[in-house]
Amino acid sequence: MRAMTAETRVSDRVAAISESVTLKVDAKAKALKSAGRPVIVFGAGEPDFPTPDYIVEAAAKACADTRNHRYTPAGGLPELKAAIAEKTLRDSGYEVDAAQVLVTNGGKQAIYEAFAAILNPGDEVVVPAPYWTTYPESIRLAGGVPVPVVADETTGYRVSVEQLEAARTERTKALLFVSPNNPTGSVYTREEVERIGRWAVEHGLWVLTDEIYEHLVYEGAEFHSMPVVVPEVRERCIVVNGVAKTYAMTGWRVGWAIGPKDVIKAAANYQSHATSNVANVSQVAALAAVSGDLSAVAEMRSAFDRRRRTIVRMLNEIDGFVCPNPEGAFYAYPAVKGVLGKEIRGKRPQSSAELAELILDEVEVAVVPGEAFGTPGYLRMSYALSDEDLVDGVSRIHKLIAEAKD
Ligand code: PMP
């Protein structure tokens, strides 16, 4: 018998998963905070607003309804699927049938199941980087191979068709597309979405397009849904979305995938064995959210926009930081390569991970290093925090970096 070492106790497949750096930073910051430290956290990937009252009230009522105490169809409550189809037509102009909708435990599960449904072992997925940490892990868990394509600050973190084409091989099965983007906040123009969509169609690729930040765009930037801009992509397109960011509902865990019926059916079969239906009370809350208007997100958007302008201005005032203007989501993604290797309080951070650690240790500000997103040399700063904390936090970083010596 083989000795049970720490390595062999956990399967190779699962042992290969890395811990989410974003959640790790968050956990360290929260631990410091609960120990009474005045930590300012730019780590969160969630709105700092409460879920709107009418949604919470719908959920409270749903708790008392005994129908919700039981199993419901694994793929989602029929009325929610219908409402998601309607909402999709209203918000992005994409007309879909309720049978094309799978309700999932957050957008995260939608991504995981979408890749599980379309990838065979060894299939490659082109993933523009900086990327949200979950994409490569969910591709790998489905047996696929993520192929990152890096776009840096000089192009506003947007990849070109030429770059995508250079990464394409005969094993390429799919493209991951997300706009607005986490972690960079970049938003692709309609022309760019069209060019990329046409490229995918030309090569028979699947597109998984993540639209979770569709309503968080600023300064005249517009969200464009790829299957609307390029209708030919629809037969190989899976749209991922959810209520988390639009309605400040990260904890309720409701997302969805929209795609061709055969793939959605296959993903629903998978879900029926993995998790069954999403909690009914959460689904009823999501139903109230997507059937209601968009005033709550409009309010959040104006607060985010104000903070966005402040953080970008303040970050660009720091020597060695370069922060392109993010036009969507709620993240700023400054390049900090100009600071690495300099001496700060007796330390010489050589990587953005070391710099993030130094910032947390010295001035008690939590930021997520670019390593988490496949691009060392950057920091992700969520501006979903109060205006006062935002100014205080960036000022602390500014003062610390001002001490840097060659
Ligand atoms: N996509 C992107 C780009 C995200 O940033 C997130 C949340 N961090 C999600 C999907 C998933 O959100 P949830 O699972 O909470 O719906």
Whether the CB of 247 sits within 6 Å of ligand 1: no
Whole-angstrom distance, CA of residue 291 vs CA of residue 285: 10
Per-residue pLDDT of the chain in tens (406 residues, 90 and over written 9): 455 555 579 998 888 888 777 777 788 888 999 999 999 999 878 898 999 999 999 999 999 999 999 999 999 999 999 999 999 999 999 999 999 999 999 999 999 999 999 999 999 999 999 999 999 999 999 999 999 999 999 999 999 999 999 999 999 999 999 999 999 999 999 999 999 999 999 999 999 999 999 999 999 999 999 999 999 999 999 999 999 999 999 999 999 999 999 999 999 999 999 999 999 999 999 999 999 999 999 999 999 999 999 999 999 999 999 999 999 999 999 999 999 999 999 999 999 999 999 999 999 999 999 999 999 999 999 999 999 999 999 999 999 999 999 9
Instruction: Decide: helix, strand or coil at residue 175.
Output: strand
Whose alpha carbon is nearest atom 5 of ligand 1? Answer: 182
pLDDT of residue 38: 95
Taking the centre of ligand 1 as the mean of its atom positions, its distance from the CA of residue 232, in whole angstroms, is 26
pLDDT of residue 36: 94
Taking the centre of ligand 1 as the mean of its atom positions, its distance from the CA of residue 400, in whole angstroms, is 32
In order of 42, 359, 399, the CA distances from 36 in angstroms are 18, 18, 22
| Burial grade of 205 (CB within 10 A; 0-12, 13-18, 19 or more) | buried
Instruction: Decide: helix, strand or coil at residue 377.
Output: coil
Whole-angstrom distance, CA of residue 268 vs CA of residue 238: 13
Q: Which residues are CB-neighbours of 356 under 8 A, at least 6 positions away?
A: 25, 366, 367, 368, 369, 379
In order of 43, 315, 366, 381, the CA distances from 399 in angstroms are 20, 12, 15, 17
Two tokens, residue 125 = 């997925």
Nearest ligand 1 atom, CA 109: 14
pLDDT of residue 219: 94
Q: Which of 212, 213, 241 to mutate to test the pocket of ligand 1 (most atoms within 8 A of CB)?
A: 212
Taking the centre of ligand 1 as the mean of its atom positions, its distance from the CA of residue 108, in whole angstroms, is 6
pLDDT of residue 30: 87
Nearest ligand 1 atom, CA 46: 8
pLDDT of residue 20: 74
Q: Which of 25, 182, 213 to mutate to test the pocket of ligand 1 (most atoms within 8 A of CB)?
A: 182
pLDDT of residue 164: 98
Whether the CB of 241 sits within 6 Å of ligand 1: no
Taking the centre of ligand 1 as the mean of its atom positions, its distance from the CA of residue 339, in whole angstroms, is 30
Whether the CB of 20 sits within 6 Å of ligand 1: no
Whose alpha carbon is nearest atom 7 of ligand 1? Answer: 45
Q: Which of 134, 178, 290, 330 to mutate to test the pocket of ligand 1 (most atoms within 8 A of CB)?
A: 134
pLDDT of residue 3: 53
pLDDT of residue 8: 76
Give the helix, strand, coil percentages of the chain, each rounded to 5.
45, 15, 40
What domains can you pick out in the chain, each with its CATH number? Answer: 12-50+296-401 (3.90.1150.10), 53-291 (3.40.640.10)
Query: Model pTM?
Result: 0.95
User: CA-based diameter of the chain, in Å?
Assistant: 67
